[in-house]
């Protein structure tokens, strides 16, 4: 049986990069997507020792770039079996009354519209084949709202609604839809949220052992390797020190 092809957005760091490395070890062919072409090529060179790899460099927020990237995809890569919608992020941590519109736009564009743009390009082959698997990376912020989370939480609640809607609409086509919602994961996430402020970026993880990209990658691997008749619909995963979005047991 030919190895399955997986497309991963946001593959150049964090959860996306960890997932790419783990899936490469488990005989999946990889389409690695991201904005940083140089990092994509470096990762391709590393993982090509284990499996077949190609790359697409584009910004998920730009629907023209997304469409053009998929048009460039060689025919041998177009039969995508698994889509991992991982790209996204948080920008700022402001109360709604002082929030910045550019931050709101960035979160809605990447977390919601970007997911839709990429899914729109991948779905036709899955629907035609009557099989496939979409994995949407959500967040604990899509399960409960926390102070100053406002628009970020709204965008991740939308991902939850979309995942549920996709699962309903694609049911008759045999396409699985999984949402994975992590709590505190130590990646570049905080650096982006706090505009590169290293000190602030470390604060969410202070006094705890947070999740890692590898932890989420292992869960993704589990969901995409279940039997054909088994679909993992929704997973919330937290570090042991975290009981909810706002309750974290920090060691002194």
- Per-domain boundaries in the chain: 5-237
Q: Check residue 190 and give its pLDDT.
A: 81
Q: How confident is the model at residue 252 (pLDDT cuts 50, 70, 90)?
A: low
Structure token digits, residue 195: 């505009």
Answer yes or no: CATH 3.40.50.720 is held by domain 5-237. Answer: yes
- For the chain, give the percent of residues with pLDDT over 90: 91
152 is catalytic: yes
- For the chain, give the percent of residues with pLDDT over 70: 99
Q: How confident is the model at residue 181 (pLDDT cuts 50, 70, 90)?
A: very high
Q: Where are the alpha helices (DSSP H) in 170-247?
A: 189-193, 198-202, 213-224
Rounded alpha-carbon distances, angstroms, from residue 68 to 58, 64, 252: 9, 6, 51
For the stretch 188-236, pLDDT in tens is: 888 788 887 788 888 889 999 999 999 999 999 999 999 999 999 999 9
pTM of the model: 0.95
Structure token digits, residue 158: 């939308």
Q: Check residue 198 and give its pLDDT.
A: 81
Q: Which residue of the set 117, 146, 152, 222 is catalytic?
A: 152
């Amino acid at each position: 049986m030919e190895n399955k092809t997986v497309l991963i957005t946001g593959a150049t760091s964090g959860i996306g990069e960890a997932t790419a490395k783990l899936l490469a070890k488990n005989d999946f062919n990889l389409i690695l997507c991201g904005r940083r072409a140089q990092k994509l090529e470096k990762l391709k060179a590393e993982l090509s020792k284990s499996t077949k790899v190609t790359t697409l460099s584009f910004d998920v927020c730009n629907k023209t770039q997304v469409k053009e990237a998929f048009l460039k995809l060689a025919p041998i890569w177009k039969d995508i079996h698994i889509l991992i919608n991982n790209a996204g992020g948080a920008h700022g941590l402001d109360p709604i009354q002082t929030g910045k519109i550019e931050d709101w736009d960035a979160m809605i564009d990447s977390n919601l519209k970007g997911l839709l743009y990429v899914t729109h390009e991948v779905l036709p082959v899955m629907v035609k084949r009557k099989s496939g698997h979409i994995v949407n990376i959500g967040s604990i912020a899509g399960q409960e709202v926390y102070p100053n989370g406002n628009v970020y939480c709204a965008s991740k609640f939308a991902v939850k609604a979309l995942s549920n809607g996709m699962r309903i609409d694609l049911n008759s086509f045999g396409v699985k839809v999984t949402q994975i919602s992590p709590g505190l994961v130590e990646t570049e996430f905080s650096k982006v949220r706090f505009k590169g402020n290293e000190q602030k970026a470390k604060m969410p993880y202070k006094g705890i052992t947070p999740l890692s990209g590898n932890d989420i990658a292992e869960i993704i691997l589990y969901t995409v390797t279940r039997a054909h008749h088994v679909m993992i619909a929704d997973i919330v995963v937290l570090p042991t020190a975290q009981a909810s979005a706002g309750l974290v047991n920090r060691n002194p």
